[in-house]
Amino acid sequence: MSEPLARSAPPSGGGRPPAPPTTGDPRRPDPSDPGPPIAVRVSGIPLGDLGHPRVDGRLLTALLLRGGPVAAWLASHDVDAVVVSAAFPACGWPLEPPLSWRDQPPDPADREAPFTVALDALALGGLGDRGTDASLLWAIARRPARVGEWLADHGITAESVEQAFPGAGWA
């Protein structure tokens, strides 16, 4: 018996499916869109995807350990590294890297060590910098995930971050 010939059919409705929501700039991922993963890199080392509780918890802990104006603002909302560690165990520093990692990410508490953060192709900058930290916190708060919800329970939302640190957001 011979195989039937393969034929392609146009999608129902007669057109292409809609494009996924974006911010309009492919270098700026949309943290509010839970669909596509947003890769997080710390000093060039892949940490995981934004929205994963361990990744977001580690980023928040690193931001708090580094210090700076955003960490001080979080402390005024009763959020510090101890509180984050209690809410999200195993999200602290230093990391226990998998064997596949050649390098260990820098210690965020060491203010002399360069510690850069990137979300996909968007390089946020060095941790401890007001703009970098505010944008990172805004992205965590905006992503519909556990750490963002936990922050909202503490009165920290993407909108409150943007209000406290104008220019933090991009969507």
pLDDT digits (tens, 9 = 90+) for 76-120: 999 999 999 999 998 887 777 666 767 778 889 999 999 999 999
In a domain, 25, yes or no: no
Instruction: Write down the pTM of the prediction.
Output: 0.82
Residues 6 or more apart whose Cβ sits within 8 Å of residue 145: 34, 50, 51, 52, 53, 56
Write down the mean pLDDT value for the chain: 85
- The whole domain housing 51 covers 39-97+106-164
In a domain, 10, yes or no: no
Q: Residues 117-130: pLDDT tens digits?
A: 999 999 999 999 99
User: Domain total for the chain?
Assistant: 1
Q: 26 or 164: whose pLDDT is higher? A: 164
Q: Residues 29-78: pLDDT tens digits?
A: 889 888 889 999 999 888 899 999 999 999 999 999 999 999 999 999 99
Q: Does the pLDDT at position 27 exceed 70?
A: no
In a domain, 119, yes or no: yes
Is 40 exposed, middle or buried (CB count within 10 Å of its CB: 0-12, 13-18, 19+)?
buried
In a domain, 116, yes or no: yes
Rounded-to-integer distance, Cα 47 and Cα 55, Å:
7
pLDDT at 169: 92
In a domain, 71, yes or no: yes
pLDDT at 98: 67
In a domain, 156, yes or no: yes
Q: Report which of 65, 87, 69 is spatially closest to residue 168, judged by C-alpha positions.
A: 69
3 state SS for the chain? CCCCCCCCCCCCCCCCCCCCCCCCCCCCCCCCCCCCCCEEEECCEEEEECCCHHHHHHHHHHHHHHCCHHHHHHHHCCCCHHHHHHHCCCCCCCCCCCCCCCCCCCCCCCCCCCCEEEECCEEEEECCCHHHHHHHHHHHHHCCCHHHHHHHHCCCCHHHHHHHCCCCCCC
pLDDT at 55: 94
